[in-house]
Structure 1
Amino acid sequence: MSHDPLIIVLIAMIGGAIRVSTPFMFVALGECLTEKSGRINLGLEGTLVLGAMLAYATAYQTGSPWLGILAGGAAGVFLGSLHGYLCKLPKVNDIAVGIAMMSFGIGLAFFFGKPYIQPQAPRLPAIPLGGWTGVPQLAEALQINPLFLVGIAAAIVMAWAFANTKWGLIIRTTGDSAAAARAMGVSVDWVRYLATTIGGFLAGVGGSFLSLSYPGSWNEGLSSGQGLMAVALVIFARWSPIRCVMAALLFGAAGALGPSLQSVGITQGYYLFNAAPYILTLLILIASSGSQQAFRAAPGELSITK
């Protein structure tokens, strides 16, 4: 195995991209499903944080990280179903509700999570894929978490369902034209409620990855805005689950740039490199704001298209 610094940085970035991209992937898939039904959920940052806290607390109390994942998903179901119910009420704006739910979720996590900042909960096991490198740092970088594979499988299933199933057609029709969905006898509010709830579950599972795998602890600064960045990621992916995975890997690679350079002794500009995902988000939002292609791909019922 070559110890060329460039090769080390590239492999470390690949491993880091897989790790860092996993929560992005789950939140983006959840938001993609929600937006496909014609609703925007800006509250997934709160879902991510509450899912991380509840997953960590459950894993600490039970000794099982897998129960922690289910608890994180349950937190997402709670916030997603609450968001979906509130948005069914007359004259309620889904964006305003999302911002309120983000504050609510973060507040709950900070209030109930204080006792779990110091204790060590069991972490999710990883699949070692880097033993062949002969370099301990790279072997550590190439440990793949099972949730990453679950996220890819979820994206494939979601893309297939959108294209080939009755439920996929109902969700796409509801997102493109509520009037057409009602003409088909579909309850628009019920479809969006279910989509928002399932989307919340996925975001909660993404939060469980943060606290139980990488970085693998619970603290109040854990998320760093990843839930909000995932909304931009969905726009960048043109509401395609498969492209959401690829965009998440791109964001993950940007997030892994700083630690990868540090692994070969490059520390100059470390904080600037750590800001790469936020810079990328800003550039994507600027590029998408004037993109006619993005608006053509967007579900017709979304607020951004009206």
Structure 2
Amino acid sequence: MSETMPDSALITALIAMLGGAIRVSTPFMFVALGECLTEKSGRINLGLEGSLVLGAMVAYAGSFLTGNPWAGVFFAGCAGLVLGALHGFICKLPKVNDIAIGIAFMSFGTGLAFFFGKPYIQPQAPKLEAIHLGDWTGDPRLAQALEVNPLFFVGVALAVFMWWAFRNTRWGLVVRMTGDSAAAAKAMGVSVDLVRFIATAIGGFMAGIGGAFLSLYYPGSWNQGLSSGQGLMAVALVIFARWGPLRCILAALLFGAAGALGPSLQSVGISQGYYFFNAAPYILTLLIMIASARSKVAAREAPGELSITK
């Protein structure tokens, strides 16, 4: 009996980590894809953290007021779209620094969410329902781990579409050209400011949807500590994924698994060092930033117009 218990605990922990990785990775995925699109156009938007938090609040309020969680998801995307559009408009002005404006919008979006979200901390809003993919297994643990929200599949489909669009469409080519060389884009008659404005706005829309997942599914409530810096960590995730939409999925799952490490170990009775394991995503972010700073591959694949390449 003593020999089989460790194996059973290990399987339980791995199953819990699988389910946790899928759940935790979804907001990372949406923010990372939004930042990937923005950076492909040659702009950095650190303000997606504000879009994520504001999206979470607006989604919860929208779901509570309409009784429809999918309406909340749409409103969250629109809130992120507005912040992204404002960021894109201001950044096209002369002598404006993308990074400074992004930090300002991070604080602005978070502040708006905290101010307008106070009435929605206590009320219970309708939540997004999961798709039960593991009921056929007969294993309650596996069935719970394979409860996947539809937004996860939307994010995967979006990543595949972005990967295809960057390679096979005129719009994708224009975005990549704008991000690699503004001078070349202007020579081809492309409005660099317009492309970056649209890319930044759409990136904000995606981040807002990521926030909707946080408040309407996992953890499934609205409070002021909901994000825990996931919007900022997604910037490191994009660098780690080397600006590839499909690699953003894998990177998001890696971050999700790191975030699920602490709860997974706790589920099998390992509580010692719990807070250290909960810090795994932040440690991973630090390690990725250090490794990326020294990576020649990441430097080669970075869009040429980004501030980090100059």
How many residues align? The count is: 305
Partner of 2:40: 36
Question: Among residues 227, 233, 247, which one is paired with 2:231 in the alignment?
Answer: 227
Question: Among residues 14, 28, 42, which one is paired with 1:24 in the alignment?
Answer: 28
Question: Among residues 270, 280, 285, which one is paired with 1:281 in the alignment?
Answer: 285
Q: Which moved more, 1:39-48 or 1:132-141?
A: 132-141
- What amino acid is aligned across from residue 88 of structure 2 in structure 1? G
Is the Cα–Cα contact under 8 Å of residues 15 and 141 in structure 2 kept in the other structure?
Answer: no
Rounded to whole Å, the distance in 1 between the matches of 2:139 and 2:47 is 41
Find out whether 1:118 has 2:96 as its counterpart. no
Segments of structure 1 that go 5 or more residues without pairing to the other structure are none
Rounded to whole Å, the distance in 2 between the matches of 1:266 and 1:136 is 21
Partner of 2:255: 251
TM-score normalized with structure 2 length: 0.97
Rounded to whole Å, the distance in 1 between the matches of 2:251 and 2:15 is 19
- What amino acid is aligned across from residue 158 of structure 2 in structure 1? A
Question: Among residues 284, 297, 301, which one is paired with 2:301 in the alignment?
Answer: 297
- What amino acid is aligned across from residue 236 of structure 1 in structure 2? F
Rounded to whole Å, the distance in 2 between the matches of 1:304 and 1:230 is 16
Question: Among residues 237, 241, 246, which one is paired with 1:237 in the alignment?
Answer: 241
**Residue 18 of structure 1: how far off its partner (Å):** 0.3
Partner of 1:70: 74
**Residue 8 of structure 1: how far off its partner (Å):** 1.2
Is the Cα–Cα contact under 8 Å of residues 12 and 142 in structure 1 kept in the other structure?
Answer: no
Rounded to whole Å, the distance in 1 between the matches of 2:164 and 2:177 is 16
Find out whether 1:163 has 2:175 as its counterpart. no
**Residue 137 of structure 1: how far off its partner (Å):** 4.1
Find out whether 1:272 has 2:276 as its counterpart. yes
Partner of 2:205: 201
**Residue 139 of structure 1: how far off its partner (Å):** 2.5
Rounded to whole Å, the distance in 1 between the matches of 2:185 and 2:91 is 18
Matched residue of 2:194: which SS? helix
Rounded to whole Å, the distance in 2 between the matches of 1:279 and 1:125 is 32
Question: Among residues 47, 50, 75, which one is paired with 2:51 in the alignment?
Answer: 47
Question: Among residues 127, 132, 140, which one is paired with 2:131 in the alignment?
Answer: 127
The C-alpha deviation readout for 1:161-210, integer Å capped at 9, x for no partner, is: 00000000000000000000000000000000000000000000000000
Matched residue of 1:90: which SS? coil
**Residue 133 of structure 1: how far off its partner (Å):** 4.6
Rounded to whole Å, the distance in 2 between the matches of 1:6 and 1:128 is 23
What's the % identity of the aligned pairs?
Answer: 77
- What amino acid is aligned across from residue 288 of structure 2 in structure 1? I
TM-score normalized with structure 1 length: 0.98
Once the two structures are superposed, the pairs formed by residues 133-144 of structure 1 within 5 Å of their partners are: 133-144=137-148
Matched residue of 1:253: which SS? helix
RMSD between aligned alpha carbons? 1.1
**Residue 140 of structure 1: how far off its partner (Å):** 2.3
Matched residue of 1:4: which SS? helix
Segments of structure 2 that go 5 or more residues without pairing to the other structure are none
Partner of 1:189: 193
Rounded to whole Å, the distance in 2 between the matches of 1:160 and 1:285 is 27
Rounded to whole Å, the distance in 2 between the matches of 1:241 and 1:11 is 26
Rounded to whole Å, the distance in 1 between the matches of 2:26 and 2:93 is 34
Matched residue of 1:39: which SS? coil
